[in-house]
Amino acid sequence: MLFSKQWFLFIAMAIVGLFSSTAAAEDAHSYARLDEVSTPHLELDLAIDFDRKQLRGFAEYTLQRHSNSNLLYLDSSQLTIDKAEIWQHDQWQPTKFSLGDVHPSLGQELIVDIGSTATKVRIHYHTATTASGLQWLTPAQTAGKKHPFMFSQSQPIHSRSWIPIQDTPALRLTYNARLTTPAGLLAVMSADNSLSDNRDGEYFFSMPQAIPPYLIAIAAGDLAIQAISDKVAVFAEQYIVDQAAWEFADTPAMIEATEAMYGPYRWDRYDLLILPPSFPFGGMENPRLSFITPTVVSGDRSLINLIAHELAHSWSGNLVTNASWRDLWINEGFTSYVENRIMEALFGTERAVMEQALGYQDLLANLELLEPNDTILNIDLGTRHPDDVFSQVPYVKGQLFLMYLEEQFGRETFDKFLRQYFDDFAFQSISTAQFKAYLQRELLAKHPQVVSMDKINEWIHQPGLPEDAPKPQSDAFAKVEQQMNRWLKGGALQTDSWTTHEWLHFINNLPLDISADNMARLDREFNLTSIQNSEIAHAWLKLSIIKKYEPARDRLRSYLLTIGRNKLVSPLYRELAKTPDNLKWARAVYEQAKPGYHPLTQTVNEALLYNKD
């Protein structure tokens, strides 16, 4: 009797499970239960308190009920919840809430009692000084030195450290916000920023298009504004605003090129916010306002593929969004592909192929370091923190997959397919399985015998690269290699026409047994130790660690002390951690740099320098 009852329950649960398998339930990185109650709109009211390094105020959600549950499940991390209220019978009434145990990567589940009739919920809260999604800079840590600066980096799961929220990319919500700052500072968001010079300390925002939570963004500082066109402007500290407007002058042309290929830009304005050098990423595609590292303002427009990349996310990522972090390749692979198409449209094939080849080399190096299972596009993250598994795989393997499809079906057919894809899934979040079904229906079935589903499954579900994956080869790089071989035998280098890309290829491919004399010879002729281009400097400094080239040490120290973009910093710490003397030196530099590093840069590099096993 008992036995059969258990079986009955088991079968009933399996059936319920089968029918309630929504995208939300499939996001292992969120406590949200979108199939029970979802939150399609947010009203945010926050004071930006630089003295306490704290955001304080409330988040108010419109409730959409899909079941008779009277509980709302939210994500939170290091938040203090001051009180919760529900809107019912035309007034705000206090309600009960509870916080779950702290999970090492997910934070805490926040459960709010919303009764059975409330239409809105308000959560009053404040953030921790250590919020993982925020960085607070003192005036001394800014270029202007007079005012503090703060910014958010919410992707992938850091929104919950500054807003109690259903922090899954399967949710889409609109938002309005009111922010207050000390007078004189300007606050901006991933919303309808104003170009006016009002600095009264109270700012209102509206984002009427439904976006996933990881695209909610905020920054405040002593910002100047410089227009590039009537649709594009740069927000930045005064010291760099003109240089950045010059560096990124091609942005309007990039928008036009992308629209011609993939349909209209649907977000109204496209502005760029240049952050302090501690910004942990190259760029972040916050809608209407991409956040950009100052390390790409190189003075020669050689690193503007970053702008092409963040702009491309206005189609791949922001319009069509990965439903969970296992599907990140749907954001980053498509975007890397579109980025490269934009670069080709504006600057021609040679540059586009050089950029493909550099990405390909990075991927191959990455594949060496990764567990095979972590080289799968539709990766199994479990509940590991997505930041801990960040790699080139979703980017470059994803891009190669789309390049492969383009090769097989031809550009015309593939472009048509992609354009339709952006239309069909506009303002939706999709899983890898949904993409596969769409690909089967709209491309494979319509052009039979070109690519099999087995091949697609190999790309998406198998580790490494398929045998017949594209292998980008650049003629320009082949010439660099010829020159390198002559130079290694004592000949001269003709570098006058070399671009940043050729320099990167040259340095990255120097033989590791290069002599100390040749290192010195290079440095003497080309001043590599003092070069200001952040990417070339990075490549050279990394080599200098491997080769124990001491004259570059001071530059290495100042580089690590002034730049916090993790991609430029962590390979250097990783290299330094390989020998005891260097590790000791690196720890000392790190401790000095740490107060200026973003929480993400701190976490990643402390793992490299202190948790070595």
Active-site residue numbers? 310, 395
Burial class of 479 by CB neighbour count within 10 A (0 to 12, 13 to 18, 19+): middle
Task: Give the total residue count for the chain.
Answer: 613
Q: Which residue is nearest to ligand BES (CB)?
A: 282
**Could you tell me the smallest distance in angstroms from the CB atom of residue 537 to ligand BES?**
16
Q: Is 371 annotated as a binding residue?
A: no
376/212 Cα distance (integer angstroms) = 24
Q: Is 334 annotated as a binding residue?
A: no
Q: Is 449 annotated as a binding residue?
A: no
- Decide whether 87 or 279 has the Cβ nearer to ligand BES: 279
Does 313 contact ligand BES by CB under 6 A?
Answer: yes
DSSP 113-175: E-TTT--EEEEEEE--TT-TTEEEE-GGGSSSSSS-EEEE--TTTTGGGTS-B---TT--EEE
Which phi and psi (to 5°) does residue 587 adopt?
A: -65, -40
User: Binding mask 331-370 vs Zn ion (x if CB under 5 A, - otherwise)?
Assistant: -x--x-----------------------------------
> Residues 359-382, buried b or exposed e (16+ Cβ, 10 A)?
bbbbbeebbeebeeebbbbbbebe
Question: Which partner, Zn ion, ligand BES, none, binds residue 312 by CB below 5 to 8 Å per kind?
Answer: none
DSSP 91: E
Instruction: Dig out the tokens for 604 from the structure.
Output: 């990643």
**Could you tell me the smallest distance in angstroms from the CB atom of residue 192 to ligand BES?**
21
For residue 289, which of 220, 208, 217, 203 has the smallest C-alpha distance?
Answer: 217
**Could you tell me the smallest distance in angstroms from the CB atom of residue 66 to ligand BES?**
29
3-class DSSP assignment, residue 487: helix
Out of 567, 577, 599, 606, point to the residue binding ligand BES (CB under 6 A): 567
Which amino acid type is present at position 595?
P
Q: Is 506 annotated as a binding residue?
A: no
- Decide whether 209 or 336 has the Cβ nearer to ligand BES: 336
Q: Is 340 annotated as a binding residue?
A: no
Does 160 contact ligand BES by CB under 6 A?
Answer: no
Residue whose structure tokens are 């227009």: 227
Cβ neighbours, 10 Å, residue 543: 20
Q: Is 60 annotated as a binding residue?
A: no
Q: Is 158 annotated as a binding residue?
A: no
Residue whose structure tokens are 């649907």: 266
**Could you tell me the smallest distance in angstroms from the CB atom of residue 281 to ligand BES?**
3
Cβ neighbours, 10 Å, residue 226: 17
Out of 164, 221, 283, 398, point to the residue binding ligand BES (CB under 6 A): 283
Q: In angstroms, what CA-CA distances link 509 with 276, 338, 556?
A: 31, 27, 20
Does 155 contact ligand BES by CB under 6 A?
Answer: yes
Q: Is 326 annotated as a binding residue?
A: no
Does 504 contact ligand BES by CB under 6 A?
Answer: no
- Decide whether 59 or 312 has the Cβ nearer to ligand BES: 312
User: Binding mask 544-563 vs ligand BES (x if CB under 6 A, - otherwise)?
Assistant: --------------------
DSSP 396-454: IIHHHHHHHHHHHH-HHHHHHHHHHHHHHTTTEEE-HHHHHHHHIIIIITTSTTSS-HH
59/275 Cα distance (integer angstroms) = 26
**Could you tell me the smallest distance in angstroms from the CB atom of residue 396 to Zn ion?**
12
Q: Where are the beta strands (DSSP E) in 368-436?
A: 428-430
Q: Which window, 172-180, 243-251, 262-270, 302-310, contacts ligand BES (CB under 6 A)?
A: 302-310
Instruction: Dig out the tokens for 104 from the structure.
Output: 């090492």
Question: Which partner, Zn ion, ligand BES, none, binds residue 444 by CB below 5 to 8 Å per kind?
Answer: none
**Could you tell me the smallest distance in angstroms from the CB atom of residue 57 to ligand BES?**
25
Instruction: Dig out the tokens for 257 from the structure.
Output: 């090129």
For residue 265, which of 315, 308, 200, 218 has the smallest C-alpha distance?
Answer: 315
Does 351 contact ligand BES by CB under 6 A?
Answer: no
Q: Is 382 annotated as a binding residue?
A: no
3-class DSSP assignment, residue 292: strand
Q: Is 149 annotated as a binding residue?
A: no
Q: Is 282 annotated as a binding residue?
A: yes
Number of amino acids touching ligand BES (CB under 6 A): 15
Q: Is 591 annotated as a binding residue?
A: no
**Could you tell me the smallest distance in angstroms from the CB atom of residue 506 to ligand BES?**
21
For residue 222, which of 134, 299, 151, 315 has the smallest C-alpha distance?
Answer: 151
| Contact present, 251 and 228 (Cβ < 8 Å) | yes
**Could you tell me the smallest distance in angstroms from the CB atom of residue 354 to ligand BES?**
14
For residue 404, which of 364, 458, 462 has the smallest C-alpha distance?
Answer: 458
**Could you tell me the smallest distance in angstroms from the CB atom of residue 223 to ligand BES?**
21
Instruction: Dig out the tokens for 19 from the structure.
Output: 């029918």
- Decide whether 337 or 459 has the Cβ nearer to ligand BES: 337
- Decide whether 335 or 483 has the Cβ nearer to Zn ion: 335
| Contact present, 244 and 306 (Cβ < 8 Å) | no
Number of amino acids touching Zn ion (CB under 5 A): 2
Question: Which partner, Zn ion, ligand BES, none, binds residue 156 by CB below 5 to 8 Å per kind?
Answer: ligand BES
- Decide whether 237 or 327 has the Cβ nearer to Zn ion: 327
| Contact present, 493 and 487 (Cβ < 8 Å) | yes
Interaction residues for ligand BES, span 252-281 (CB under 6 A)? 281
Does 284 contact ligand BES by CB under 6 A?
Answer: yes
3-class DSSP assignment, residue 380: coil
DSSP 372: G
Out of 164, 169, 213, 282, point to the residue binding ligand BES (CB under 6 A): 282
Question: Which partner, ligand BES, Zn ion, none, binds residue 290 by CB below 5 to 8 Å per kind?
Answer: none
Out of 49, 167, 222, 310, point to the residue binding ligand BES (CB under 6 A): 310
Question: Which partner, Zn ion, ligand BES, none, binds residue 567 by CB below 5 to 8 Å per kind?
Answer: ligand BES
Which phi and psi (to 5°) does residue 184 adopt?
A: 100, -20
Residue whose structure tokens are 């491919």: 509
Out of 220, 236, 306, 563, point to the residue binding ligand BES (CB under 6 A): 306
- Decide whether 114 or 303 has the Cβ nearer to ligand BES: 303
Binding-site residues from annotation for Zn(2+):
309, 313, 332
Annotated binding site for a peptide: 153-155, 280-285, 565-567
Residue ranges binding Zn ion (CB under 5 A): 332, 335
Site for ligand BES, rule CB under 6 A: 155-156, 281-285, 305-306, 309-310, 313, 332, 395, 567
